[in-house]
Amino acid sequence: MAGQVRKKVDTKQIDKIIKSYDKSEESLLAILQDFQRSFQYVPEEGMKRLSKYMGVPESKIYAMGTFYKALSLTPRGRHTCKVCMGTACHLKGAGQILETIERELKVKRNSTTEDQRFTVESVNCVGACAMAPVVVVDEDYSGHVRQSKVMDILDKYK
């Protein structure tokens, strides 16, 4: 998919993480969280190696990876840029803001830039309608965002 980065993962790092835990099913979640911290997502190769090492079916590990919200099975950017597409924001031009971001960062919504700087998401109302249109980068809310200024906001995040 365009914008989804499939970079080669460091298998040595994967094995190092796995072997730093007890060979017990109770370690599975902690290992997946460790993958998430190290790679900003849970790589497929990591799930395969973990399955082999623990003797646990890959399907079980995959199910855990999809169940826990803190885990992502696709690469994430260092920053998350959420563009609110709720009704109030939509009426105030959120669509054009999102298009500007997609064009400038060369990324499609709900995917990650090639340099893994941003994961760009379109989201439902973030609860700040009075400030519409709203863009949230990581935990920082920007309100009354103008199309011409949105890249100035994103430039602050390297």
Closer to ligand FES by Cβ: residue 32 or 132: 132
Is residue 125 part of the contact set for ligand FES (CB under 6 A)?
Answer: yes
Distance CA 151, CA 102 (A): 11
| Alpha-helix runs per DSSP H in the chain | 11-19, 28-39, 44-54, 58-67, 87-91, 94-105, 150-155
Closer to ligand FES by Cβ: residue 18 or 126: 126
Question: Which span sits near ligand FES by CB under 6 A: 6-14, 32-40, 82-90, 113-121?
Answer: 82-90
Question: Which span sits near ligand FES by CB under 6 A: 27-35, 60-68, 125-133, 149-157?
Answer: 125-133
Distance CA 94, CA 83 (A): 7
CA-nearest of 152, 130, 124 to 143 is 130
Is residue 83 part of the contact set for ligand FES (CB under 6 A)?
Answer: no
* Total interface residues for ligand FES by CB under 6 A: 12
Question: Which span sits near ligand FES by CB under 6 A: 28-36, 63-71, 75-83, 121-129?
Answer: 121-129
Residue type, 71: L
